[in-house]
């Protein structure tokens, strides 16, 4: 038989390296304890098999999607996935960090000098916890990635230098321990920053 032919049927063999799949958590990778989340791996339409892996746990799932009906602490961590076409496996996806929130009480968030400032000044957002956490994360509503910083115990300062109207918005912060990087506090109360002029 000619290469690529088998009993009159053409076997399509993909050429070149397989593309990396995408991995996402829906509706968000920040999941309050007890709330549902879906982890979804997305490859090309001709992917034949998927494998989802929770790193450092030994857990594998031969499926493209995992539905967690109620988030628990031991489900937080780093995930990645890959897919198979024929005998070939794709490169792994970028790692997804799935964070369980609400594992400790919320910190407070404040702004200095004020929550309403003219453009051009420097504003410092301070996240403060009553517990001895050494890590803090600040989120602006609408952004997908946080500002993270290791800081002194109990608090972190996030300076925003030369603010513009683009910095206006609603902010929340979280506190957590570097020993348990995927177990975060409940979010702070929202802080609305208004930049005028």
Residue extents of the structural domains in the chain: 5-101, 108-196
How much is the pLDDT for 86? 95
Spatial contact of 54 and 95, defined as CB atoms under 8 Å apart: no
Closest listed residue to residue 140, CA positions, set 121, 158, 162, 117: 158
Closest listed residue to residue 98, CA positions, set 24, 178, 188: 24
Pick the CATH number of 5-101 from 2.60.120.260, 2.60.40.10, 3.40.50.300, 3.40.50.10320: 2.60.40.10
How much is the pLDDT for 6? 47
Looking at 12-26, 35-49, 106-120, 159-173, which range is the least confident one? 12-26
pLDDT of 38 above 60: yes
| Fold of the 108-196 domain | Immunoglobulin-like (2.60.40)
How much is the pLDDT for 150? 62
Query: CB under 8 Å to 95, separation ≥6 — which residues?
Result: 23, 55, 78, 79, 80
Q: Cα separation of 135 and 6, whole Å? A: 59
Considering the chain, what is the average pLDDT of its residues?
91
How much is the pLDDT for 5? 44
How much is the pLDDT for 92? 98
Judge if 5-101 and 108-196 fold alike in CATH terms. Answer: yes
How much is the pLDDT for 39? 98
Q: Cα separation of 20 and 42, whole Å? A: 9
How much is the pLDDT for 12? 56
Tens of pLDDT, residue by residue over 121-147, are 999 999 999 998 999 999 999 887 888
How much is the pLDDT for 16? 75
How much is the pLDDT for 4? 47
User: Please, which pLDDT band fits residue 2 given cuts at 50, 70 and 90?
Assistant: very low
How much is the pLDDT for 165? 95
Tokens of 113: 């000098």
How much is the pLDDT for 13? 54
Tens of pLDDT, residue by residue over 53-103, are 999 998 899 999 999 999 999 999 999 999 999 999 999 999 999 999 999
Across the range 31-47, mean pLDDT stands at 98
């Amino acid at each position: 038989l000619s290469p690529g032919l088998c009993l009159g049927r053409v076997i399509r063999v993909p050429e070149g390296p397989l593309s990396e799949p995408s991995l996402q958590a829906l509706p968000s990778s920040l999941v309050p304890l007890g709330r549902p989340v879906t982890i979804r791996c997305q490859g090309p339409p001709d992917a034949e098999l998927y494998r989802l892996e929770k790193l450092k746990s030994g857990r594998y799932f031969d499926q493209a999607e995992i539905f967690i009906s109620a988030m628990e602490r031991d489900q937080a961590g780093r995930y990645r996935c890959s897919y198979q076409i024929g005998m070939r496996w794709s490169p792994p996806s970028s790692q997804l960090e799935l964070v369980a929130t609400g594992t400790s009480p919320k910190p407070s968030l404040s702004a200095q000098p004020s929550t309403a400032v003219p453009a051009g000044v420097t504003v410092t957002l301070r996240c403060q916890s009553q517990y001895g956490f050494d890590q803090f994360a600040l989120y602006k509503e609408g952004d997908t990635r946080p500002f993270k910083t290791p800081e002194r115990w109990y608090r972190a300062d996030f300076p925003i230098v030369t603010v513009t109207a683009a910095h206006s918005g609603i902010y929340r912060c979280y506190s957590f321990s570097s020993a348990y990087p995927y177990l975060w506090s409940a979010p702070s109360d929202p802080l609305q920053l208004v930049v005028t002029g």
